[in-house]
Structures are given as C-alpha cells and as structure tokens.
Amino acid sequence: MIRHDGLLVSWLGYATLRIEGAGTVAYTDPGRYGVLDGYEPHDADLVCVTHDHHYDSDGIRRVANEDTTVVVYEGVDSHRIDRDVERPSDLPCEVRTVDSEADFAVGDVVVRTFPAYNHPDGEHLRENGDPVHPEGFGCGYHLTVPSSWGREVRVFWPGDTDVLDGHAELDVSLFCPPIGGSFTMDRHGAAALAAALDPDLTLPIHYDTFEALETDAPAFAADVAGRGVPVVLDEPVSDRAPVE
C-alpha cells in the first residue's frame, strides 16, 4: 500500500488497483489470475473495467456490494470471452456501460475514459497481423478522487494500450502505467510518458503476473526517477501462469 495526497492505493496484482479516498473506494479491473484469492471485502463504491481481457465477474463480486456502481467499457462481450463469466447485466449492482469518451460522476468521483489500443503498425500484433488490442476494444480511466486531505487527486490507469497521442496532455497526479510490454507499452515507453505527464507520483502495474509480462521494475523506477519524476513500487507476491 502507498499513501499519496490523502489517498491509500494498493496494487493487488495484474491490473487491479484499490484506491481509497475520502469515504470512497474504487477498483480498476478487479480479478484474474488469482490476484483476489482470499480477498473479499465488498467495499467498492466504484469498479472500472477496461476490456474483455480484464473482465472477471467473480473478481467484481468479491469487491462489490449492492450499492456499487460498475463501469464497464461498452465493448466487453461475455459471449466472446473464453472463460466462465457472467454477463455484466447479471451482476447484483448498478452497471453502467461507457465508450472511450465518457465524462460523468459516480458519487464524488469524476470518471473520464480515453481510448486504449495497440498501434496497427506497431509491435503488439497477433500472428495474423492484427493488434492484440485493436482500436475500439477497450478504454483507459482517469479518475478524480476526493482525498482525506481535502484534495481532488487525478489517477490515470491507461488500460492495455500503447502510448497514444493525447496521453501526454492529461492532467495527472498519480500515474499507473502498464510496464510489462508484450501486450502494452513497455517500461521504456511508460517511463517516457511519465516524464511527459510529470505526475506527482508514478506507480507501475500490469507486470510480472505471468512470464509474458516479466520486466525489470527497479530499472523502470530508476529510469523514471532519473527523469525527475517521483516513483514508487508496490509489488504483490505472485506465482501465476496463463497468457493474455
């Protein structure tokens, strides 16, 4: 767990963040690969899901309660997912679908979404040449969360994406980039984006969950710190397998 501007933030593994502010608890992409095994707090006010690969109805049920608002990217399709998941509409809480240009409030949290995808002429392609995450497949989330210090803290989880035009223009206090590469920006691209964003703090996630996401997190931290940007690592212990 880290403390940042009156927020308590924990990386629970894979793409799962728990963000606790002033009377508000938000999660990003809860679940998959056992990251929530033995964890069932049902304390979420807000859950944000970026795309199919991170949609886990069991993980959502572990953190949600009847008063939770679950925000799901409109492209999430339970029939396309090759895992046993419930339809979002069958979850026992309010579910709101969004596109990649949403801007609204859930309680005291302002939720904004942004495109998340791999460049069609980039490195993250399937064998048939299609991007692993094509444009329109998912989104990233920018959350403005009231903190216990009376501040509004802007948290940015880009989702599974390469660095895109427009990312560097965002106003971000806590930047939580994926750094595992293979399916997303790697630690070098994320470090360059951190320098461009100049956030108050950078907390990397989405790495080391399984072999394809293994990376040198301390080297990332050193790179970001060397660019004059505060950075912290919050590494959960994991020993998991599967693939994206």
Task: Using the predicted structure, report yes or no on whether residue 209 has a pLDDT greater than 70.
Answer: yes
Read off the amino acid at residue 109: V
Q: Distance (Å, rounded) from C-alpha 7 to C-alpha 173? A: 11
Taken as a whole, the chain contains a residue count of 244
pLDDT at residue 239 tops 80? no
Instruction: Give the whole-angstrom CA distance, residue 219 versus residue 221.
Output: 5
Alpha-carbon distance 164 to 156, whole Å?
A: 14
The 10s digit of each residue's pLDDT in 214-232 is 999 999 999 999 999 999 9
At residue 235, the pLDDT reads: 75
CA distance 171 to 63: 28
CB 1 within 8 Å of CB 8? yes
Q: Which domains does the chain have, with CATH numbers?
A: 2-226 (3.60.15.10)
Taking the C-alpha atoms of residue 27 and residue 15, their distance in angstroms, rounded to an integer, is 10
Main-chain phi, psi angles of 36, to 5 degrees: -110, 15
Q: How confident is the model at residue 236 (pLDDT cuts 50, 70, 90)?
A: confident
In DSSP terms, which residues pair with 117 in a beta bridge?
none
Q: How far is Cα 117 from Cα 97, in angstroms, rounded to an integer?
A: 18
Tens-digit pLDDT profile for residues 137-158: 999 999 999 999 999 999 999 9
Residue with tokens 């767990």, as numbered in its chain: 1
Written as six digits, the tokens of 179 are 């750094």
Does the pTM exceed 0.85?
Answer: yes
User: pLDDT tens digits, residue range 54-107?
Assistant: 999 999 999 999 999 999 999 999 999 999 999 999 999 999 999 999 999 999
User: What's the pLDDT at 138?
Assistant: 98
Structure tokens of 113? Answer: 């979404």
